[in-house]
Amino acid sequence: MSFCSISTLLRLAGLTVWLTVCAEYLAASLPPPAGESPAAFWFGQGVIGLFLLAFAVAFWRNMRDIPVEQTRRGRVLLLLLQLLPAMLISQDLSYIVALESALVLPRRQALQWIAGQVLIMFCLFMLFEHFGLVRPSAALLARDPNIASGVTLMSVLTWQIFSFFGGWFAAGEALSRREAARLNAELLLAQQSLAEESRAEERLRISRELHDSVGHHLVALGLQLDLARRVEEPARSTHIATAGDIARRMLAEVRQVVAALRRQPAPDLRRELASICRAIPEPCIHMQLADEALAALEAAVGAVLLRAVQEAVSNTLRHGRARNLWIVLRRIGDELLLAIRDDGQGAGDVICGNGLTGMRERVTALAGSLRIDAAPGRGFALEIRLPIRGVLA
């Protein structure tokens, strides 16, 4: 089961507890006390209802995209908004807040939060107990009021700690699975990169063999033709026949090299990217690959585009902290446009390391262009334009 489905179950479980609290409060409040103004009673119930509704909305919103690895002010504010009705209306809601804090705050901040929450609930309990607002169970009251209050206090505090560490271990497992998925995705990208480098080395080897063999034959052919020009018959016919044999052997070798190159077609970009998507549970990759763009791919262009996607995905996994990654490939006239962007944290200044530098060099070698756009809080985006035929610059 993915953590996306687990987080949904946690949200539904929290709302179930919230509904139970609402039902208990409603049952305890009705009917209105005798002698109290109906208008004042329903006004008070309306205010409490708004607090409870705000708790549910804040909980549902705050539990998105969990667990987190960075502190965000908005998440802390939503926790504070939930803690208010937990203190004033029902202590049961504080158990939800305790579990939630371990999922929506980084590890260190989560520990600080639960320590503060336990301290606040302790002080609030002592205040309520002083004014006689604490209601232990009837079985405890039958023994000793002091023991009853102490047991009730311990119950409230230990259940908060228990709820917190339930969320703590769930967050730890999710972070471990996320890291394992990231490493697996990087391994897949490395394997694909090695396979592409192997194909490139094979093409280089073939080109060298073509250069060596054709160069040798051309030298021999030129020598035979030069001798044929200098001598008389019948030696001239012999040199011409030898030159013809050399030309035929050279043509045969060229055909072999061309056949070998044809056995290395352009990479199946759709299949390669689909394999990447299957291996990466997060971020969620959204692909839009136009059929007319895929049909126009040549081997060199397809290889450059595939390496660009691999590098962009790898950067997002390492640095982006993104939840979504969009990959769009389309054809515009005689050009192919590849646009990649994510919704991660972005960066103020883009430092081109080996990956981005190599990407720019490969794009430039095919007379293309590369544009990179990144800003804090706006994610990372790059745009590559390549001529369809991949003309070498």
Higher pLDDT, 24 or 143: 24
Given pLDDT bands bounded at 50, 70 and 90, which one contains residue 392? Answer: very low
Please tell me the predicted confidence (pLDDT) of residue 146. 64
- What's 337's domain CATH number? 3.30.565.10
pTM: 0.59
Higher pLDDT, 264 or 320: 320
Q: Out of 183, 199, 234, pick the residue that ends a domain.
A: 183
Please tell me the predicted confidence (pLDDT) of residue 2. 52
CA–CA distance, 340 with 382 (Å, rounded to integer): 5
| Owning domain of residue 32 | 3-183
**Does 170 reside within a domain?**
yes
Number of domains in the chain: 2
**Does 100 reside within a domain?**
yes
Instruction: Average the pLDDT over 221-239 and give the result.
Output: 76
pLDDT tens digit string along 109-166?
999 999 999 998 888 888 877 776 655 544 444 555 666 667 777 888 889 899 999 9
Given pLDDT bands bounded at 50, 70 and 90, which one contains residue 100? Answer: very high
Closest CA to 1 of 172, 184, 164, 174: 174
**Does 219 reside within a domain?**
no
Integer angstrom CA distances of residue 247 from 213, 222, 271: 12, 10, 42
Q: Out of 142, 163, 183, pick the residue that ends a domain.
A: 183
Given pLDDT bands bounded at 50, 70 and 90, which one contains residue 216? Answer: low
Q: Out of 122, 154, 183, pick the residue that ends a domain.
A: 183
pLDDT tens digit string along 298-344?
777 888 888 888 888 888 877 767 788 899 999 998 889 999 998 88
Judge whether residue 378 has pLDDT over 50. yes
Higher pLDDT, 253 or 302: 302
Higher pLDDT, 278 or 5: 278
Average pLDDT score, the chain: 79
pLDDT tens digit string along 170-197?
888 888 877 777 777 777 777 777 776 7
Could you tell me if 387 and 274 lie in one domain? yes
Instruction: Average the pLDDT over 52-56 and give the result.
Output: 93
Please tell me the predicted confidence (pLDDT) of residue 138. 47
Could you tell me if 16 and 140 lie in one domain? yes
